[in-house]
Amino acid sequence: MASDPGGFRLFDRKGHETRIHLPDRSRLKQADDGTLLLWQADGISAVDPTSDFSCQKFREVSLEEHPGPWDSAFLGVLVDCPHRVFARFDLDVEALEIGDPGYSGPTDATLLPDRRRVAIMIARSPHIAIFDPAERMTRLVVLGGSWGNNDAALHDRTLWLTNYDRLCRIDGDTLEMRSSAPLQPRYRDPEHGFMTAAFIGVPRFSETRGAWLIPRPYSGDILTVSQDTLEPVGRISCGGRPYDVVEFDGDDLLILDHPMETVRTLPNPLVEAL
């Protein structure tokens, strides 16, 4: 969480919390092969949860020395897990077409199925960027409808991401884009009294339900959304302001409420068909 020192928090299915302390701010991602990757300012490490979360440092290489393929990406970093190496890259910032650098900008990178290009999320932008770090080529994919893409994930060679109040999918090979209708209704701003758009939370694919879990902070529930039609097929009432959700083996859920200050569990949630 934003106020935490370096490290991360662990939660079990009962909501019990353990903190793992690290000397620097960090970020975690899981590579396709299951490797848990830790990003810090000085580089990349593999984290071993079975050995008291010990870290093994990766060796830094250049893109000229090692052009890929890669296994995962952070913003500005490509990672090769089998060879335990990583390489840094710089974006072509002008090609991102950021309207107001003080208001918008790149936030994250997700490796595409070709294992060479990355999808760049851009805050408060109507498009994302597809960037080839080795060739330094940028292609923009317009999302339309809303402004603000985030929380990308790769599933079945398809890139899934939020576009403020919508769920989008982009074919990892052709870059063909499809968007849902708004999944979070507009609401009346309590301070100014007018109707305004509201964002959805982090999408997580549920293997148990075969659908996407879409938390809705402004509706106090979690939608299950078809990966084929991009339409809601179910609803889990949970109250609060759900922003992110983790599904344990079985049905138990771990929920992070917006603005990222409360974590709670929801055992055996009831799914109401829509």
Q: Which tens digit of pLDDT belongs to each residue from 89-101? A: 999 999 999 877 7
∠167-171-177 over CA atoms, to 5°? Answer: 50
Average pLDDT over residues 61-87: 96
Note the pLDDT of residue 8: 86
Note the pLDDT of residue 235: 98
Q: What is the pLDDT of residues 33-52, one digit of tens each?
A: 999 999 998 999 999 999 98
Note the pLDDT of residue 205: 96
Note the pLDDT of residue 256: 95
Tell which wins on pLDDT, 26 or 166: 166
Contact 216, 194 (CB under 8 A): no
Q: How many residues does the chain have?
A: 274
Strand pairing of 27-30 and 36-40? antiparallel
Q: Which two tokens stand for residue 270?
A: 């009831």
Q: Which residue from 124, 129, 149 is spatially nearest to 203, judged by alpha carbons?
A: 149
Note the pLDDT of residue 144: 83
Note the pLDDT of residue 248: 93
| Position 57 confidence tier, pLDDT thresholds 50, 70, 90 | very high
Q: Share the mean pLDDT of the chain.
A: 93
Q: Which residue from 147, 145, 56 is spatially nearest to 104, judged by alpha carbons?
A: 147
∠115-119-123 over CA atoms, to 5°? Answer: 160
**pLDDT of 260 above 90:** no
Note the pLDDT of residue 26: 85
Average pLDDT over residues 53-67: 95
Give the phi and the psi of residue 95 in degrees, each rounded to 5: -70, -15
Please report where in the chains the tokens 């080529």 appear, as a residue: 137
